[in-house]
Amino acid sequence: MKDKVKKGGGRNQVKTDVISAPGGDDVVDIKQDEGTAFPVKIQGAGVEPFELQVNAFWLVQDAIMALLSRNEVCPRSNLSLALAGTTLDPHAVLQSLKGLKAGALIRLVEEPYTSHSARHHLARVVELLRASGPHDVLREGQSPSVLETLTHTPDSSLPNGKSLKRSLSNSKGESANQDGAPPEYLLPGSSERPLMALLPHSSQPEAPSYLKDLSLSCWHPPPGHRKLQGDFMYITAVTIEGRHCDITSCPKGFFLNRSTEDMFDPRPAQSTPVCHCLTDLLCHISPTFKQAFTTLKNRPQQPPVEAMPTPYHTLCWLGPPCVSRLHKNTFSRLGVDEQAAAQTPDWNEELQAARDLPQGSLEERLQRDKALLQVNSAFVRTVMQGAETVVDGFVEPVNGNPEDPAFLWNGLFMSQGATSAVFGGERGRRAAQRLELKGVQAYSNLEGLQGLHTLPTAIVDYRGVRLSAQGLAPGFESSEQDQKDSPASRGLLYGVNAGPQESTQRRRLLALLAHAAKSLSIQRHVVVAPKGHQVPLFTSLDAQGLLGADGRFYLLDVFRSFPVDANFYPEGETQSQTAAGDEERSNNSKENNEEKKNGNEKEGWPENYQGTSGFPKRFPHGLCRLRPELVQAFIQHKHCQFTQRVKEKMDENGGFEECATACDSRATDAVRAACRDVGSISDIIFEMRFNPNVFSPGICFPPTEKASTNLQEKLLREAAAFIITHQIPAFLQCCLESNEAPMDGASLKQALHQKGVNLRYLGHVVKAISQSEHKERLRHIMRSTIGEIFIRSAKRVFSHFLQGVDVPSLSAAISHFLSCLLVHHFTPSPVGEEAKKKSRRRGRGAGASESTPWSMLTGSELWNLVCQDAVETYDISDSLGSSPNHLVEHYGLQKLSLLREFCLKTGVQMRLRDYILENQNKAPISPDDILNIFPVVKHISMPTVDASKAYRAAQNSIQKGLLDQAHEQLKEAAYLYGRVCDDLDPEACYCNSLLAKVTFLQGKAAEARSVQLKTVVISERVLGFDHPNTIQQYALLAVYAYAGGETTLAQKCLLRARLLMLTVHGEDHPYTATLDSCLGLILTEEQTGQFLLNALKLNTSFFGPTDLHTALSHHLLAQWMCSKGDYRSAMTHEKEALSAFTSLFGEDHPQTSCSKEFLGTITKQAVKVERTLRQTGSESAEQTVECLSPTSETILEQMVLVTGIRRITRSDRFQEYKQKHLERKAAAAKELGFKLPIWPVNSHLVSREEKSLNKDSGSGKEAGDEGTTAEKKDGESQQQQPQENMSTDSGAGVLANGHVIEPVERNKHEKKTDVDADGEAADADAGVQTVNEGEMQSASGGKNGEINGDMETIHNPSALNSKLSWADVVSKSSNGTGGKTVNGVDSVTANGAAEE
């Protein structure tokens, strides 16, 4: 009542100063470079004149492509541009054209068609006229964007049939209504997980009809004498009015001919025009077509991120709810879909030509990056099509080997690869294919290495078969020595089998390989070739360097480029062979036997390593290799040891200064000794390299390599132990401190890979969690890890299972497998009978016979197979239990989440409906529920070099607190990403998300909202509509929407995020507490308590009672209870919050002081209410209780804190250190007579804690996309995930500044805090805040800096500035003029600088 009115009024206020940009809904085009963009006027070709914005760096063909996508021009094609009567060269740059300036008139010129361009035009017309609905994307297996259904008003509808009312409104109820309650399944504690709410599923309205039929005529193709007169093809159109028309395609365009169904007469019909565009002719023929087509052309233009196709296929595991097609395909008989390319593409030549493009200027590099991305994405699409074509049996093998059939299709060479007993059979073959792709990625990522080429490569899994696809290699030229050798070695310049040779080409190739080896930390070494001679190598043994007929050097077979993982090579099998005599071998064996007798570990293993960890041990395949991320982390670890040893040695010899200034060899000796201790390959500088052939079976090293080989064995054992002793514990520590810990298999994989941990260590992760004292706090990680083990083992069993299934039975077999996998003790007989009956009804013969192996599979048998694989691969025995119910009961796994993970990994697409996975007698999944199975492709990621550099520079600026500079760098990075990939890239998504955060912190809430809207769409389309990053982006969009007064949209976004969270992981996850806290802040009174109490329960269980997350939850509950008038309970919760703040920060911290003040205010109010009740009596209590309600500004600030956009600084220790440092520096300068620049003593710069404080702190709320500030190594740059990208200070909230002016003193300093601190920040931070790569490795798994609270040079939105404490805020009346802080800690003004 009274408090509800106040609360609602506060929340719906829109502060005019928050929306600083005019027109809150106007999208800020950050891709447009104001210096190069200008408008030109377009007219001609039968279109209405219009204005087009072009960029000076565009080619003419870029302008043509932009024109063809405009509604005014589409579907016209085969056009050229003319300026002042002169046709423009398509490859000319616009800025080089004379007379082209802003406002210039450019004419469209219709060019004559060729047979090919006429067919292309017909395809464009068909693409435009096809009815496009929301389910078409799902039917193609692509991830859709659902955001549009949330951002429009419920009563609106789009022309393309998207009903915008259905965002979350469905049979379950309307969940996005501001006044109505959320549906039951979204409330805390609900176990219902409806799939129907995930995607739009309401029935599509009738699509507009353009034509009854459009097909190739029965008179097509033209006879010879008509071909000579220019006829390309004959088309028959049947209009809605029922008129049958025959149309001729010719060089001038399209015209009606006189042919009928019974008579061929190709002459033009009377009074018919020749139209360059087919739709112009159809409009002339049919009034109904003209009306429908006009409506189609007048539809709103979609933003590029929604309209452009994604470079790579993003699988959607759910398909349309309706299996059958909703609309007939009017254009199926035109044959445009089946038109093959004019010639088979040469993928290798296209890729290498793109790589050889010049890189001198920024513009050239952008063109090169874009060309590489376009070629690679086209290659990957062809690989997907090729996998389906080959596995479905439409291509005959080109070789006669049934064990390893090879296929040629559309310029691709596809094969499964040969199995090898040495590598481990089928498992080893798959591992070799995966490692080959990683090796190609590593060599492709090397910057500044021009001249060394790899073939375009991808691997694809389809129907249980893994195929390796490569572009066709060019013919290889032979050197002079090769002429005498066998033809097999033609062109072979490098490798074990190359033989001794000397040539200019070989020397050039060796120089390239030496450069690559240095970048990849590969040691030059010598091996003994099969013929007995010694061969120096810069790569693994298998690699071959060849000279192609195109004059390029190619490196092939790089699957063993990375060092061996010694944890999976038992000691008895890992002895590297040397070509020594029998006596030496016997001596070695004696030494080994003595070591075993004495119980000593091999050199390199920690003490009692095998007893505590169980390593080394066998693995199902023999290709266990270290990840490049692990190699880099281990090198950093060894470098820290190196510097420590140097320091210790110098301290023993008189100290660093004495050793450095003395003229003796003490400093050199210290460096040499340290190099020797840490295993550096050089004895004068620190340099770590690894021999990829050590521990590899069948490789012999000469006796001269014995010392080097022993050192390499020791290093590899240390690196393998480093995973167990450092990286896995560091990963678990991150998960303890982060509330954005992995939510599903994909995010778990990314988190482990960023630490350099392979997924074969999942079993050890389970063991480490089980032995941890924080086992209960890590239960969400245990849940995700067990689920990942289960699904990966099930996937391997599924691949083998599908080998025995014929094509007509695929749907029945897959549904049967899933029923056995997910239902406890499922009985298979009903499945076989049901499939049998259905197939008979459909006329497909006898259907699934009971004798088929797949139909006899039972749930118990399948479970045994999965558990057996899990034991062999991950060494876990009893963790999976005896049935899927064990996973549900013991780990809290959801069967729906397991189904989602299985589909994403295998490519299976399910029908969108609600599944009940508990019925043991009836199959929960029927054959009709299996809509499709798509190829799953792993491919090379093409780096966007300049955009990534700008992005990392922005992160470094954020580390220093230079927000203005970071904002400009992020705009530049976003612009560059847009130039290369049209923003449809994971890194572009993270960049735009960070840009939105920085923009918001600068007070531009409307601009932040616009950027974040685009970010959500990118995340949905590129990563997946239910990807963990998408969940986090929705939560951030809710904050920016609420800042602009859009409470309803904020509620919809948060409810959408919670729905996805429940589906992906379940409720028992720290990030659910973040979402529930935000929902508790902006929902109405009835639901607020439920969500806030659930957030408190989750935070307490995951972070403990004294963590910042928990303290903030207590405060939010206290605030809510004040608004309800329940001051007694509010006092209880605020006391808990105060206790937590005191234990975290101490008595004198501003956070603690404000909590005390707020608690005092509650206490006074409680006493006042109690006194009033005694005086007036309990019957009038409702009228007399005065409630304290927060304003909308307070709620916004709290949401900013909860979501981690800002953080609370933990201490001022760094500020104190910096102040003392500057004082000492000033004193020293004064003594020496130097004059230093004036630095403010209490400068409000970035307050960064010591790393030890970070480790002790609560959980790091990571920014959803901040990437990495360190150099990204190898393939890591394309894989940055949001939950791994932040520092670890705290997830709760933050002040705008680390050093706070108390409220009492605020008036004194208000006029002094408007100084621009950017320059001061840069100067004062230069000497003190250098963070090396190792220190940037945050405990939350990322390598990047924070944007939140520790930044003090922040332009604060007005809603985030305050002069008031908590007590002032909550005691203000509902007019919204109250303070704007949440924790009573004040922020400095924009560009907050120093107090003097």
Higher pLDDT, 1278 or 661: 661
Structure tokens that stand for 222 in this block: 């033209």
pLDDT of residue 872: 93
Any idea which residue has 């080089």 for tokens? 96
* pLDDT confidence bin for 1025, thresholds 50/70/90: very high
For all residues of the chain together, what is the average pLDDT? 78
pLDDT of residue 324: 57
Say if residue 38's pLDDT is above 80: yes
Return the bridge partners of 157, or none: 163
Q: Mean pLDDT highest for which of 757-771, 1202-1216, 1366-1380?
A: 757-771
Kindly report which listed range (144-148, 802-806, 869-873, 876-880) carries the lowest average pLDDT score. 876-880
pLDDT of residue 333: 55
pLDDT of residue 133: 58
Distance CA(715)–CA(722), nearest Å, equals 10
* pLDDT confidence bin for 948, thresholds 50/70/90: very high
Query: Judging by DSSP bridges, how do beta strands 700-701 and 577-578 pair with one another?
Result: parallel
pLDDT of residue 1026: 94
Mean pLDDT of 194-206: 70
pLDDT of residue 207: 56
Structure tokens that stand for 851 in this block: 């004798």
Residue 725's Cβ-count burial label (10 Å; 0-12, 13-18, 19+) is middle
pLDDT of residue 167: 36
Higher pLDDT, 179 or 610: 610
Say if residue 567's pLDDT is above 60: yes
* pLDDT confidence bin for 293, thresholds 50/70/90: confident
Alpha helical stretches, state H, 1002-1107: 1005-1018, 1028-1043, 1047-1064, 1070-1082, 1085-1103
* pLDDT confidence bin for 1137, thresholds 50/70/90: very high
Say if residue 835's pLDDT is above 60: no
Distance CA(383)–CA(471), nearest Å, equals 10
Q: Mean pLDDT highest for which of 41-45, 210-214, 1128-1132?
A: 1128-1132
Total residue count of the chain as it appears in this document: 1396
Say if residue 422's pLDDT is above 50: yes
Contact present, 944 and 376 (Cβ < 8 Å): no
Strands (E) located in 203-358: 211-216, 233-239, 244-250, 253-256, 318-319
* pLDDT confidence bin for 832, thresholds 50/70/90: very low
* pLDDT confidence bin for 1374, thresholds 50/70/90: very low
- Residue 341 is which amino acid? A
Which residues fall within 8 angstroms of residue 559, CB to CB, at 6 or more apart?
A: 432, 433, 435, 436, 438, 439, 540, 542, 623
pLDDT of residue 304: 78
pLDDT of residue 1183: 52
Kindly report which listed range (579-583, 1106-1110, 1365-1369) carries the lowest average pLDDT score. 1365-1369
Alpha helical stretches, state H, 624-688: 628-652, 656-661, 666-678
* pLDDT confidence bin for 1146, thresholds 50/70/90: confident
Say if residue 934's pLDDT is above 50: yes
* pLDDT confidence bin for 152, thresholds 50/70/90: low
Say if residue 350's pLDDT is above 50: yes
Kindly report which listed range (57-71, 1013-1027, 1263-1277) carries the lowest average pLDDT score. 1263-1277
pLDDT of residue 1178: 55
Distance CA(866)–CA(869), nearest Å, equals 5
pTM (predicted TM-score): 0.82
Looking at the chain, the whole-number percentage of residues with pLDDT higher than 90 is 40
* pLDDT confidence bin for 299, thresholds 50/70/90: confident
Higher pLDDT, 143 or 725: 725
Task: Give residue-wise pLDDT tens across range 536-566.
Answer: 999 999 999 999 988 899 999 999 999 999 9
Task: Give residue-wise pLDDT tens across range 264-278.
Answer: 888 888 878 899 888
- CA 493, 494, 498, 504 dihedral sign is positive
pLDDT of residue 579: 56
* pLDDT confidence bin for 952, thresholds 50/70/90: very high
Any idea which residue has 């609309």 for tokens? 327
Mean pLDDT of 572-579: 56
Question: Quick one: how far is CA 1171 from the chain centroid?
Answer: 58
Any idea which residue has 């309970």 for tokens? 1129
Q: What is the DSSP string of 685-713?
A: S----B-TTTT-TT-EE-GGGHHHHHHHH
Higher pLDDT, 1393 or 216: 216
pLDDT of residue 302: 76
Kindly report which listed range (81-85, 332-336, 618-622, 1223-1227) carries the lowest average pLDDT score. 332-336
Q: Nearest to residue 1072, comparing CAs of 1085, 1057, 1086? A: 1057
Higher pLDDT, 321 or 1135: 1135
Kindly report which listed range (160-174, 618-632, 790-804) carries the lowest average pLDDT score. 160-174
pLDDT of residue 72: 81
Backbone angles phi, psi at 920, to 5 degrees: -85, -20
Task: Give residue-wise pLDDT tens across range 664-693.
Answer: 788 888 899 999 999 999 888 999 999 999
Say if residue 746's pLDDT is above 80: yes
pLDDT of residue 378: 94
Return the bridge partners of 461, or none: 466, 936
* pLDDT confidence bin for 758, thresholds 50/70/90: very high
Distance CA(883)–CA(889), nearest Å, equals 10
pLDDT of residue 1110: 94
Say if residue 890's pLDDT is above 60: yes
- Residue 860 is which amino acid? S
Say if residue 939's pLDDT is above 60: yes
Contact present, 906 and 888 (Cβ < 8 Å): no
* pLDDT confidence bin for 1379, thresholds 50/70/90: very low
pLDDT of residue 1334: 36
pLDDT of residue 127: 80
Task: Give residue-wise pLDDT tens across range 7-34.
Answer: 333 333 333 333 333 333 333 333 444 4
Mean pLDDT of 91-107: 86
Task: Give residue-wise pLDDT tens across range 1033-1082.
Answer: 999 999 999 999 999 999 999 999 999 999 999 999 999 999 999 999 99
pLDDT of residue 1027: 95
* pLDDT confidence bin for 1216, thresholds 50/70/90: low
pLDDT of residue 1218: 61
* pLDDT confidence bin for 1180, thresholds 50/70/90: low
Task: Give residue-wise pLDDT tens across range 1050-1061.
Answer: 999 999 999 999
Mean pLDDT of 917-941: 89
pLDDT of residue 53: 86
Say if residue 1236's pLDDT is above 60: no
